[in-house]
Chain A
Amino acid sequence: MWRSAVIADVTVQTHRTRTLTLAVDGWMTHRAGQHVDLRLTADDGYQAARSYSLASGPGEPPQVTVDRLPDGEVSPYLVDIAAPGDALELRGPVGGYFVWSPQNSPQPPVLLIAGGSGVVPLHTMLRARLHAGDDTPMRLLYSARSWDDVIYRDELRQASSVSGVTVEFTLTRDIPPGWSGHTGRLDAAMLTELSWPATDRPDVFVCGPTRFVEAIADTLVDLGHDPAAVRTERFGG
């Protein structure tokens, strides 16, 4: 069921991503990792719909963080044109698989692995943990092309100072002078160094472009992780 939404606020994240806050009548709440479908209608009736991960934490107004795709139809509009007050339609929140929620009982450690804008739903899981004051160990490994492409930079750096939370960046293309983080692709050696061993039985969430997700998931299974504990969300493309 599609319902109307109005863009309430727009925040620039990077040179190619923006966060849109949406005002939706009757929005209840959502779980970290869920997504929504957004539909745009032109004045002559032409429509285009795309799926986006929710970018806000549970209990916050719905947000999406949109990455402008070079040949995109919807994302260039959402990143370059849409402004507060503009209307669109929304369906959701949906998804009950690629989700994580704080609970009142101890949970396995959570390993979050992001490629590019795949960080959006994973950052939301981190935010859900921080807001709930939960103490589940959580580790985010974030692969980006360059430091300028890193979304939620400040929030993620702050999060890494919280006890039980680790955030590691690896840059694959442009390395700034004095960079002290990791460089290069997240391969088996880097995964071994930065993640919990399979014997700790972490819950793993991997999100990013299809090829990134498949390479990471295959490597994790090779490293002994239970395939059922590795949850994936591919963008396609």
Chain B
Amino acid sequence: MDPVDGNALAGPLGTLFGQDVGDVTGVCAGCGLSSLLAETRVFDQAPGLVARCPGCEEVLATVIEMPRAVRLSLPGFRYVDIPSRTL
């Protein structure tokens, strides 16, 4: 099963704190690689979306569309940076 690009996260997540999710950068807690969410490898043929690190394939994030919420888990990031809104 081939992954798709992290852009696929933008459908269910849309914007996060006012920023397109693809523009959010995160650092993998496993290997330390910094990547844009748009650059992660997303497995979408699954009960949810699974974003894996392009460096070490650790699970960085999962997204599940629940009836009344979209649940975002970030199990594999050391941190994420959400760019400040530019005017």
Contact = CB atoms under 8 A, between A and B. Distances in A.
Interface residues of B, number: 19
A213 to B, nearest CB: 8
A92 interface: yes
B7 A236 contact: no
Interface of B: 2-8, 10-11, 14, 19-20, 22-23, 36, 38-39, 44-45
Given A97-B20, A97-B23, A98-B38, A35 B4 contact: no
Contact of B22 (A1, A95, A235): A95
Contact of A95 (B2, B10, B39, B44): B10
Interface in A82-133: 91-92, 94-98
A39 B44 CA distance: 15
Contacts of B19: 96
A234 B8 CA distance: 10
Given A51-B11, A236-B45, A96 B2 contact: no
Contact of A97 (B3, B38, B44): B38
A92 B22 contact: no
Contacts of B38: 95-98, 231
Contacts of A234: 2-5
